[in-house]
Structures are given as structure tokens and as C-alpha cells.
Amino acid sequence: MNNHLHFDYTTVGHVTIDVLEDGSRRAGGTAFYSALQAARLGRRTLIITQGVPREIDALLAPYRDELELTVLPASATTTLRTAGRGDERSQRLLAWAGPIKQQLELDTSILHLAPVVREGPSSWLGHAAFVGLTAQGLARRWDQSTGQITHAAPDTAAGALAERCHALVVNEAERACCAELIATAGAAGAVVAVTDEDAPVTVLAPARPAHEVPVPALSAHVDDLGAGDVFAAAFFIALSEAQSPLQAARFASAAAAVRMCGAGAGAIGERGAIEARLLATESPRSG
């Protein structure tokens, strides 16, 4: 596989059908939410995903003027039934597009490995100047009869991915089962961010003590689905722009706050909205 074009930001992972509590369906998955945030930060963005092409084309139709898309055909599109929000959210796997086994040939400034349910890939060819990994999909397993998703330690192949990463994002619920992955990434020189809902982000940078970065207070919390994915994209982009890990975490937290103040992917902000949110957050401190 060769896309023949250079991209600023490439996500690899399943775009999902998210079935919400009211029965409505929307596009989901880290590969989608993170890619859209990257696009709205002015990056030429590609999603490489796997599923039923016509289903994914229909899901992403409202965003196709912002994103480019490669769909590896599969017999199903990964489908998740989602209930609750924040740390009370539960998900069931209704359909799975399977592991991404095709050898990917990439030419991208930022590669974001964005699995949702252990789909991979385990390797790739070509150029990726900066590699970011969100561990959520590596730290999941599901009951074969009910589809209920729970946390589980990543398999041994995940360590090889962590060794190639410049940055890793996990949330606090995944932290314990991803301890070995975090240690591997840190030993390889990666910056690690641990998000925790409205609690401070813990930033682990090589040869530096752990540091907590407060997140913006929200006057209105509308919808948090995909907020962690938005954080990850903004964090990786800020790091690639040579912002310090702490600056990058503040910028990413502001991006997540913008997302949560509106409904759905349409609420993902452009750079101006994120910088305004960041300025509003930091102004009281500077005063």
C-alpha cells in the first residue's frame, strides 16, 4: 500500500460506528476524532482505517472536505454501543473489522497509532518523523458472548510500538494495566501524558520529575465523547512544533475543553478557539 502523497498527520485505526443510548449512530474512534482535530489545526490529514467502505464513506461524508481517507476493506465495520460518560462510560463491541495486517507504506510528518480494539498495526514502512500512540485500544479486551469491553494489559507486541514512539497518551483508568508500556516508552525517550477527566494531566518526560498540569474548568459540559482523542492530537502536534511537554499538555487540555463545550465532532475547535480558551485559562494565573 502506498498513498503516494505526503501528509502532515496520519491516523491509523478503526473508524467506528458509535451507537448511543438514544439509538442514534455517529462516526467515532480515535482515528476519526484525532484526525479531525489535526485537520482543524491546519494539517493535511489522512485516516487509514478498515471496515466496510460504503459504511465508512457515509459516516465521514460530512467531513470529507477536511479529511482524506483510505479504507482497507473488511466484512464488518467496528461498531460500539456506548452508554454513560466520563469514568462511568461503558461500551460493548457489536461488530469488529479485525486486525490491520496489511503492510502500510507511509509518508507523514506525524503518525498517530490510534487503535480502539486491538487492531494494530504492528509495523509500517516509509517515513514518519514523529510517532504518537494512544494506548486505549491496546488496553482493551471484550467478552466474546456479550461484547462487554474491559481493561486488560496490552499484549507483548505493544512494547515494540512503544519503543518507536515519541509520545504516548493514556488515561488514568488504563494506567495500571499499561505500566509496562509506559515504562518502555519512557525508557525510549517518549513523553507520556496521563489524562484523568477533570483532574490534572500528569506529564512524564525523560529525565524530569512528574508534573501535573491543571485542566480548564468548564462552565458547560455538553459531551465528552472523543475528548481524549482530541487531547492526543493537539498534544502530538504541539510537541512536534517544539513546544515543551508542559506547554503541549496545556494546549491539548484547552483543545479538549473546547470539544466538551459542544455536541459531537462538530464542536472540535480550530486553532483560534483553542488558543482563546488557553488564554482565558492562563490569564488569572498571569494576573
- What is the residue-wise DSSP string for 53-88? HHHHHHHHGGGTTT-EEEEEE-SS--EEEEES-GGG
Amino acid at 8: D
According to DSSP, the β-strands at 45-51 and 7-12 are parallel
Q: Where are the domains of the chain?
A: 7-286
Cis ω before 121 (30° cut-off from 0): yes
Does the pTM surpass 0.75? The reply is yes
Q: What is the four-CA torsion angle of 56, 62, 68, 69, rounded to 10 degrees?
A: 0
Tell which residue, 207, 199, 286, 284, has the closest CA to residue 249.
199
According to DSSP, the β-strands at 7-12 and 16-19 are unpaired
Q: Which class in CATH covers the domain with range 7-286?
A: alpha beta
Q: Is-contact 247 155, C-beta < 8 A?
A: no
One digit per residue, pLDDT tens: the chain, 287 residues?
545 689 999 999 999 999 998 899 999 999 999 999 999 999 999 999 999 999 999 999 999 999 999 999 999 999 999 887 666 778 999 999 999 999 999 999 999 999 999 998 888 999 999 999 999 999 999 999 999 999 999 998 899 999 999 999 999 999 999 999 999 999 999 999 999 999 999 999 998 899 999 999 887 777 899 999 999 999 999 999 999 999 999 999 999 999 999 989 999 999 999 999 999 887 655 43
